[in-house]
Structure 1
Amino acid sequence: MQKVVAGTASFWAAHLSTIIGVATALLIGIAGTAVARAALGILVRWSDRHGRTFRAAILGHLLLPVVIAVWALAAYFAALAVATPLHLVGLLGILPAVLKVFMLLTIAWAALRVVAVSESAYPAHVWSKRGENPDPMLVDAIGKITRILVVAVIGLMILRVLNFSIASLLAFGGVAGIAVGFAAQGVTANLFGALVVYLDRPFKVGEWIVLPAQNVFGTVEHIGWRTTTLRGFDTRPYYVPNQIFNSSVVQTPPRMQARQINTTISIRYADFDRLAAITEACRAHVDNHPDIDQSLGAMVYFDQYGNHALQIMIWCFTRTVVWKESLAIQERLLIELGRIVRQHGAELAVPVSQVEITSPMPMPAPAEPPRHPAMQAR
């Protein structure tokens, strides 16, 4: 019994500093977590109480990275407490670098969380004060650029902690960049295409666009660094490489000032004498139509002699740019113009083929049907 007691006492005496160090590290972790939760909780509640919803969202997303950083520091002290009495020189040599790298990664993670919540909360917070609508495309561009900067800065700091020469890496990158550039020309072109889209802003998320050269059209759902996602009117997705926007024409119909009506009315050749009166009446009707934008011009003229009818051209613009409303206006206009044609005693033409016979053609006598042999015998 005395040996057991003596052994226990000697164990505690030999490892007392280690036990105290580990216990202290554990207390640091627990106390630090409690302080972080209490402090951030107070700040979040104060921000919510004063209408600082964006600040409250940022602080709420910082809690988890702060807690992890506190426990990383506690683990570092615990490892020191274990390694120092045992003279683990190798472990003692790498512990500071490991702690720095882990802290830098935690900072990067916290920064990326802040960027993510900023993309959703900050635009509404700012534009609501300005009385403007948020621009998702601008927010997305700023978010992507900020993420790249965070990763690049933290990456360089980690390399410096690990004693990598930044100058050597840059020199190697210059040589390797040439080879990679040739191998990844398409990727580079797509990146520059995305940059051009973000800077020139020929379209934005939510607008529908047309690429005539590729015979592709649809609503823009996402603008990535390599491709832009369109959703066709048939709900099929299209993934368009961004380099196409550097060299192709892009149409953005939602930005038009008005929708065009460009059609014709066909009248029979038999109603040629009524053509002038019909054209004048149709022109007056279009010029006084409440849904037609007269500032952009409207034209109604006899256009050409068609194969089957007299063609009257109708060329004008609706006041609305909404496709469905424009189609309804065009429908009403065509019906009204058709009634004008009827009121003048004319008819709308349909394709009719007329066969002209210059002289009577002799009709052959009908051949007598063949008779059965039994009938011939009679």
Structure 2
Amino acid sequence: MENGIIQQIDYLLKQLFLGTPLYKWALALIVFLLFLLFRKLFTVIVLGIIRKFVSRTKTTLDDKLLKVIINPVRFLFIVFGLWFAINILGAEDEILNHFIKSLFIITVFWMIYNAVIIFQTNFYTFAEKFGKDLSKELGNFFIKSAKIFIFILGLVAVLQEWGIDVTAFIASLGLGGLAFALAAKDTVANLFGGLTILADKSLKIGDWIKVGSVEGIVEDLGIRTTKIRTFEKSLITVPNSYIANNPIENFSRRNNRRIKMTIGLVYDTPGDVVKKIVEDIRNMLHEHPRISKDLITLVFFDKFGDSSLDIFIYTFTDTANWTEYMAIKEDVNLKIIEIVEKNGSAFAYPSQSIYIEKVPEKLVFYDPDREN
């Protein structure tokens, strides 16, 4: 009976599936699962020991290198498992060989890509040599450029593995290549626009700027676009070529904010009172602790308005911060109200006075309902 069962199992395992005996499929599956088990043991035991060792060293370089290789090495167990399983199945197919080799290439470039991410602080340190003000923007530019370069290089290596001559392929595009170049024209313009922005140091992340109709805080300065967060909390992506070719108003680069206003006094205010109000406002601004003493301050009786005597006020605060500016402006406004009221005058509002030179002695009113 036992021999019969063995014979049946032997017969079953020798059955073919996709031209390969079932026992080879079973053996290939077992080998692949063993590599998954080795991967788990490597992660828990070997990497655990390595982590403890590198954590005791004084340098952080080994910690970073471990982060660079840990996931790609774990992925290699899957690649080797597939490779051994394919060999067991006897599927020595050219496509499968290219596929396995492509996975090895991807793993190598994965490590290089991780190195860019893990060592990005070094990119920022290198960028500081070109200026601390733009170290973050230049660092981001270097990192993104390196990522794109590694991705393109890895893609070319994989294509070469599959027998695709990239150089010949690009050269054979002909009109298609010309169309591609024309389509990429804007991308190239945006790339050089980003380089121009960095070279001019016209803005950096965190600046409050206005370009055309777009106004807000710069959140990201990329290779192709710049992201601006508006005060309505919308995120606007602006092409770098547009920023490079348009005037940039950078509010964060100024140290002061302007107060400019015209106040109107009622017309029955005597001339000497108007003069006293002007002098009091001028003295108040000169003595105000938050009004800039280095910039011009103007207070003058400006003109005879339609319904008021207009006083022109022009000065600057000592800060560009919006909240502080509004608090200073409020304080100045309240002090102007006190000065006007203290001098016995009042603020005018639009009004008209009608003077009738002579009233008729007898007024005749037309009544349409009255009988003739």
Structure-2-length-normalised TM-score: 0.76
Supply the distance in 1 between the matched residues of 2:299 and 2:337 (Cα, whole angstroms).
14
Q: Name stretches of at least 5 consecutive residues in structure 2 with no aligned partner.
A: 15-20
Aligned length: 356
Q: Which residue of 1 aligns with 2:49?
A: 42
Supply the distance in 2 between the matched residues of 1:57 and 1:363 (Cα, whole angstroms).
105
Q: Which residue of 2 aligns with 1:108?
A: 109
Change (3 A) 1:358 1:140: same
Task: Tell me the CA shift for residue 340 of structure 1.
Answer: 1.9
Which secondary structure state, in structure 1, belongs to the residue aligned with residue 268 of structure 2?
helix
- Structure 1 residue 68 corresponds to structure 2 residue 75: yes
Q: Amino acid of the residue matched to residue 244 of structure 2?
A: N
- Structure 1 residue 98 corresponds to structure 2 residue 105: no
Identity fraction in percent: 25
Contact 1:220 1:229 in 2 (8 A): yes
Out of 53, 78, 86, which is 1:79 matched to?
A: 86
Q: Which residue of 1 aligns with 2:263?
A: 265
Change (3 A) 1:78 1:305: same
- Greater share of helix: 1
Change (3 A) 1:315 1:6: closer
Change (3 A) 1:37 1:53: farther
Task: Tell me the CA shift for residue 367 of structure 1.
Answer: 4.7
Q: Which residue of 1 aligns with 2:214?
A: 216
Change (3 A) 1:7 1:196: same
Structure-1-length-normalised TM-score: 0.75
Supply the distance in 1 between the matched residues of 2:60 and 2:134 (Cα, whole angstroms).
17
Which secondary structure state, in structure 2, belongs to the residue aligned with residue 108 of structure 1?
helix
Q: Summarize the alignment of residues 125-136 of structure 1 with structure 2, pairs less than 5 Å apart.
A: none
Which secondary structure state, in structure 1, belongs to the residue aligned with residue 236 of structure 2?
strand
Which secondary structure state, in structure 1, belongs to the residue aligned with residue 246 of structure 2?
coil
Change (3 A) 1:321 1:281: same
Task: Tell me the CA shift for residue 315 of structure 1.
Answer: 1.7
Q: Summarize the alignment of residues 187-336 of structure 1 with structure 2, pairs less than 5 Å apart.
A: 187-211=187-211, 213=212, 215-224=213-222, 226-271=224-269, 272-336=271-335
Change (3 A) 1:223 1:134: closer
Task: Tell me the CA shift for residue 153 of structure 1.
Answer: 1.4
Supply the distance in 2 between the matched residues of 1:219 and 1:63 (Cα, whole angstroms).
38
Contact 1:65 1:106 in 2 (8 A): yes
Change (3 A) 1:125 1:167: closer
Task: Tell me the CA shift for residue 148 of structure 1.
Answer: 0.4
Q: Which residue of 2 aligns with 1:352?
A: 351
Q: Amino acid of the residue matched to residue 72 of structure 2?
A: P
Contact 1:301 1:314 in 2 (8 A): yes
Task: Tell me the CA shift for residue 154 of structure 1.
Answer: 0.9
Task: Tell me the CA shift for residue 72 of structure 1.
Answer: 0.5
Change (3 A) 1:176 1:45: farther
Task: Tell me the CA shift for residue 327 of structure 1.
Answer: 0.9
CA-to-aligned-CA distance 1:209-258 (integer Å, 9 cap, x gap) = 223x3x33233344455544433323344343333212222222233211
Q: Which residue of 2 aligns with 1:150?
A: 150
Supply the distance in 2 between the matched residues of 1:98 and 1:194 (Cα, whole angstroms).
38
Supply the distance in 2 between the matched residues of 1:362 and 1:161 (Cα, whole angstroms).
112
Which secondary structure state, in structure 2, belongs to the residue aligned with residue 292 of structure 1?
coil
Change (3 A) 1:116 1:361: farther
Q: Which residue of 1 aligns with 2:18?
A: none
Supply the distance in 2 between the matched residues of 1:7 and 1:40 (Cα, whole angstroms).
41
Contact 1:124 1:134 in 2 (8 A): no
Q: Amino acid of the residue matched to residue 107 of structure 1?
A: V
